[in-house]
Amino acid sequence: TGAICSLQRQMEIQESELRRIRSEKELLQKQLREREAQLQAVSDKFCSLTEKQRQEEVVVMMEEENRNFQQVVTEQEFQLAEQNKLISELQGTISQLKAEVVTTRLHLLNQKQAQKEIQRQVEVLQYTELQTRVALELISSKFERYRNKIIQATFSVEGSQDPQAELTDDEVLEAMQKIFNERTEFQQMLKNKGSK
């Protein structure tokens, strides 16, 4: 947004300069018209003189005026050419600034769209995280119930002593293994005695 404002300010400055130059151009054209009017007035003045006087005066005055007028015309044509060149340059600069404004706005629009897409992805991830937390809590709860049942079954065997403290998973496995081993030994002993 700052870049767009800066570009717009530059455009306004360039357009103001363009208006100033056009105004100067119009002034020069007005001066040319005034010179032409002066020449016409001189021409009208000599129309009232006698033919001979008129010819002499006209030759002298016209030569002088012609030189002056030619010099003015040359200077003003040069100024007009310079101003036309400057106008073309300013118009090119204005066009470039307008293109930069369009590009900057397009870039900002793309950034906003990308930001919206990122926000949407964040919301999806947050929702997925919430679902995962709920699922994890459910699994943890089921696992804890299953573990408690295993402990209860393991230590409810006749001859087992209830645990005095919180059991680790390794201690639970060790107790279960002990029960399995005792049952295996008991079954082997029964086989050896021939009992079913």
Residue entry with tokens 């030189």: 67
Lowest-pLDDT choice from 18-22, 75-79, 110-114, 156-160? 156-160
State yes or no: pLDDT of 195 exceeds 60.
Answer: no
Domain shared by 65 and 99, yes or no: yes
**So what's the pLDDT on residue 157?**
65
Q: Which long-range contacts (CB under 8 A, 24 or more apart) does 52-56 make?
A: none
Domain shared by 25 and 105, yes or no: yes
Residue 9, both tokens: 């300010």
Domain shared by 73 and 163, yes or no: no
Mean pLDDT for 21-25 is 87
| Reported confidence tier of residue 80, pLDDT bands at 50, 70, 90 | confident
pLDDT tens digits, one per residue of 35-63:
888 888 877 776 666 666 667 776 787 78
**So what's the pLDDT on residue 180?**
84
Residue length, the chain? 196
State how far the Cα of 141 lies from the Cα of 123, in Å rounded to an integer: 27
Domain shared by 89 and 52, yes or no: yes
With the C-alpha atoms ordered 35, 37, 39, 41, is the resulting torsion angle positive or negative?
negative
Domain shared by 68 and 145, yes or no: no
